Structure 1
Amino acid sequence: MSVLVILFGLLVGALQGLVGAGGSILAVPALVYGLGFPLSQAVQMALVIVGISSVAGIVPRMRSGVDWPLALLLGVSGAATSFAGSAVNRLLDDQVLMLVFAMIMVLAGVRMLRPLAPPPDTGPHGGLTAPMLVKGLLTGCAVGFLTGLLGVGGGFLLIPALLLVLRVPMSVAIGTSLVVIVINCAGGLLAYLGHAELDWGVTALFTLAATIASVLGTRVARSLPDDVLTRGFAVLVLVLAAGVGAQAMLA
């Protein structure tokens, strides 16, 4: 089992470092179908794993790869709604949640296969305008709710939103997404205080492998074109969505 945990951790961390997204949508199915944890426990473990491994991806991008005002806006609004998502999570059947998970993954994968046409990569964003403030709040609330509901950090939704809705260049979108993921994961974990069900041994090993891979992925990402990263990630999301959907329907 330890070998599987390490392999899954490396895959999750590599995606986090490469594209600033994807850790949670791999971590939750890996924990549920690959390692046999119940969904409620897998959600909590994924929040720890993805939150910590995302920090490793932020460090090399702190100075010029993060729009900090936007990240804090998205993160704070998302952390608030993550409590509502975690409450709904406890009311719904696991198979229903996994089907919702698969449908969201399909939508995200298809959207990322389409040309995103981001603005020129000119560095951190110039500031929060009034329209961006409203869009940022709505985006943060939606992603935060999904974080609590499904144990996802939200990066696979944040990256397209940052590029298309908020017009942030890709180089800044990745770092900004990772900051929001960390905040959302922390908010999601707080919502589970008092009834946490983590396997700390598996969580620690998974997190260590994911963190190492995240650091390496960040370095590799600097040498790869943006379209290669986004399209490769989108294809992986669609393949995984088909597997998760099939498993949920068969169950």
Structure 2
Amino acid sequence: MSSLVLALAAGALIGLALGGLGGGGSVLAVPALIYLLGFTPVSATTAGLVIVALTSATALSAHARDGHVRWGAGLLFAAAGIGPAMLGSALAAQLPAGALQAAFAMVAAVAAVRMLRPGPEDSDTRRIRPGHAAAAGAGLGAVTGVLGVGGGFLAVPALVAVLGVRMREAVGTSLLVITVNSLAALALRGGTADRLDWGVVGPFAGAAVLGAWDGRRLAAKAQPKTLQRAFALALLAVAAFMFGDAVV
């Protein structure tokens, strides 16, 4: 099967997961790039950032039109993550491939476990805790920079618990945070980005964007909890395989 067909198929599936679940789907982009398309871990995380940035920015525009983005809270959260995202991006280029792959596997496992647990409830408080917001934003930025993932599975609960953002707004606001962090991380990966196979990355990203729109319609017809549980179990299997491959 050609690389183009694989890129389109993988991108469409990841887009469906993103659109159907509201976050977490981008975690599969890096494994797909490594194992299906032959990217190195460093190149895969860079390509993952491109895919995450484009997909998140597209989805952000739709949520913004619906009025589901808290711009002030989101920009505060994102601002704390810009520096760590850039530092994490620089660090990723220096890490051994096995270490980067093992770290990604552990984060993927955390994402799966987080998705299997009940989601956060809407918070009644609206008081922003600047210290907590800065710590959570910095942690998310570092994860985005090093591993090339959006981190929606971490951003949404943090926005609800730390900033008191309601659940529906947290999903939209997390896309703002992810977009900013991804672009910040990409700013320090210019050399790596130049060496990417854009004939593969471009169709992959395009299919992910289109798949995300279809994922919204899928979510309206299927039980969200069933979709989330199935995706989480698949992600756990991918994490186990990646970790075993990294340490062998």
TM-score (normalised: structure 2) = 0.88
Match in the other structure for 1:99: 102
| Structure 2 unpaired stretches of 5+ | none
Tell me the CA shift for residue 221 of structure 1: 3.3
Paired residues of 2:20 and 2:224 also in contact (CA < 8 A): no
Distance 1:47 1:150 in 2: 9
Tell me the CA shift for residue 208 of structure 1: 1.0
CA RMSD of aligned residues (A): 2.2
Q: Deviations over 1:79-103 (max 9, x none)?
A: 2211110122122111111111111
**AA paired with 2:93?**
R
Tell me the CA shift for residue 229 of structure 1: 4.9
Paired residues of 2:82 and 2:184 also in contact (CA < 8 A): yes
Match in the other structure for 2:157: 160
Specify which of 63, 67, 72 is matched with residue 64 of structure 1.
67
Paired residues of 2:141 and 2:181 also in contact (CA < 8 A): yes
Please identify, of 15-24 and 200-209, the stretch whose mean Cα deviation from structure 2 is larger.
Answer: 15-24
**Residue 87, structure 1, aligned to residue 85, structure 2:** no
Match in the other structure for 2:245: 247
**% of aligned pairs identical?**
39
Paired residues of 1:49 and 1:207 also in contact (CA < 8 A): yes
Q: Deviations over 1:38-79 (max 9, x none)?
A: 111111111111111122222221132222222212222212
Q: Deviations over 1:107-147 (max 9, x none)?
A: 23223322234127xxxx985x342x322211111011111
- Give aligned pairs, total: 244
Distance 2:29 2:218 in 1: 21
Tell me the CA shift for residue 173 of structure 1: 2.0
**AA paired with 1:145?**
A
Match in the other structure for 1:30: 32
Tell me the CA shift for residue 202 of structure 1: 0.7
Distance 1:223 1:109 in 2: 23
**AA paired with 1:241?**
A
Paired residues of 1:56 and 1:214 also in contact (CA < 8 A): no
Which consecutive aligned stretches of 4+ in structure 1 deviate over 4 angstroms post-superposition? 222-226
TM-score (normalised: structure 1) = 0.87
Match in the other structure for 2:146: 149
Distance 2:143 2:238 in 1: 18
SS of alignment partner, residue 183 of structure 1:
helix
| Structure 1 unpaired stretches of 5+ | none
Match in the other structure for 1:76: 79
Paired residues of 2:24 and 2:111 also in contact (CA < 8 A): no
